[in-house]
Structure formats: C-alpha cells, structure tokens
C-alpha cells in the first residue's frame, strides 16, 4: 500500500528480534508466550513489539486504569494463592487496593494492511476479540491483540475490606486460566496459517 517505509520497518524488526534473544538469555521472557513470538517473527510481514501472557496484579490506585497515583504492589503471571495476597492487605492503601486480572496482550507491527487484516482475523478466531490497529505510520501498522478477559475487584478502601478473599482468589485464577487458554488457541491459529 505504500504507507509503511520498508527500510524503517525492517530495522525495527531486527532490533526487536535481537531484544527477544537477549530476553531469552537473561530468562526474562515469559515462557507462555515464547512460541507465539517465534511464530510472529517467522511471518514475512509481521513482528511482535511487546507482549504479556496475562497476569494478576494487586494495585493501589484510585481507579484500576489510572497511571498517576498508582502503585503495583504485587504481580504474577500464573495462579496466585490466598496466602500470597492476604498479608499485603494488612496495611492501609494510599487510595484503594484492586485485584486486577488481565488476559494476554500482544503488540505487533505489520508491514501491510493485508497482513494487519489477516492477523486481526486470526486473533478474533482465537478469542482475542478486542484486537485492533492502534496506529498507522511510516514506521508500521501497529496492532494490539487482546481479549475481553479483565477483572477489577475492589479489595480494600477507606470504608471497606473484602472479607471473602478465598472466593475472590478462586475467581481471579479462573479468569487468568481463561486468558491463557485463548493464548493457546492463538498459537494454534497462527501455526495453521503459517503452513
């Protein structure tokens, strides 16, 4: 389509590939997502820019989507146990404690609109239904692939403390598992489309 500058795009692709190799080496890379990054790099007209396989966080913030005045108290990319969260709730929050579960998110740069469209279709088929193109520039067509999996549960505020933490943790782990299973479907759909 002539929107994206192929040279800029390819240079960025090389930088991201090297960064992935470094991340693997230092053990920083989330293993749940590694095989998907490989499949994306294996495509001729896409590469992954950043990714998260899904996680559970405990956040101190007025609202869970705020950045300002917000602190991440705890973060884990696999199931949590009540005993990991409970001691953190004994202190008073600066604003409010939220238990936030997010499904997988991938940011991908595509070279062409046709490739961007193909990826969006694959992502939707795998249950990443809230996927879309975030921006279009000379540097690339920038996609976000994500699910609607998201929980934001109020655990503590000035006049409130959650008294059913066991149940909340159970529901949070169930949500996290649902996100991970969509990531697996994404892997399968990407495999199928690359053969």
Sites of contact with a copy of itself (CB under 8 A):
1, 3, 63-65, 96, 113, 116-117, 120, 131-137, 143-144, 147-154, 157, 159-160, 163-164, 167-168, 171, 174-175, 178
CB of 94 to a copy of itself, least distance (A): 16
**Is the Cβ of residue 37 or residue 151 nearer to a copy of itself in the bound state?**
151
**Is the Cβ of residue 31 or residue 148 nearer to a copy of itself in the bound state?**
148
**Is the Cβ of residue 143 or residue 190 nearer to a copy of itself in the bound state?**
143
Using alpha carbons, list the distances in angstroms from residue 168 to 59, 68, 81, 159, 164. 15, 26, 11, 19, 6
Ranges of H-type helices in the chain: 6-25, 31-41, 82-85, 113-125, 165-193
**Is the Cβ of residue 19 or residue 184 nearer to a copy of itself in the bound state?**
184
Using alpha carbons, list the distances in angstroms from residue 161 to 30, 102, 166. 33, 22, 13
CB of 162 to a copy of itself, least distance (A): 8
Cα separation of 37 and 156, whole Å? 37
């Amino acid at each position: 389509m002539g929107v994206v500058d192929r040279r800029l795009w390819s240079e960025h692709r090389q930088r991201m590939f090297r960064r992935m190799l470094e991340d693997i080496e230092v053990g920083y890379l989330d293993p749940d997502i590694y095989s998907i990054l490989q499949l994306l790099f294996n495509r001729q007209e896409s590469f992954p820019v950043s990714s998260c396989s899904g996680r559970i966080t405990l956040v101190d913030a007025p609202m869970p989507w705020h950045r300002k005045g917000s602190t991440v108290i705890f973060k884990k990319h696999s199931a949590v146990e009540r005993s990991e969260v409970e001691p953190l709730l004994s202190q008073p929050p600066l604003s409010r404690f939220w238990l936030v579960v997010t499904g997988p998110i991938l940011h991908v740069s595509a070279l062409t609109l046709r490739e961007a469209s193909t990826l969006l279709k694959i992502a939707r088929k795998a249950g990443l239904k809230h996927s879309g193109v975030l921006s279009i520039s000379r540097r690339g067509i920038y996609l976000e692939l994500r699910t609607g999996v998201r929980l934001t549960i109020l655990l503590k505020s000035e006049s409130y403390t959650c008294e059913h933490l066991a149940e909340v943790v159970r529901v949070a782990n169930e949500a996290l598992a649902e996100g991970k299973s969509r990531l697996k479907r994404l892997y399968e759909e990407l495999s199928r489309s690359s053969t």
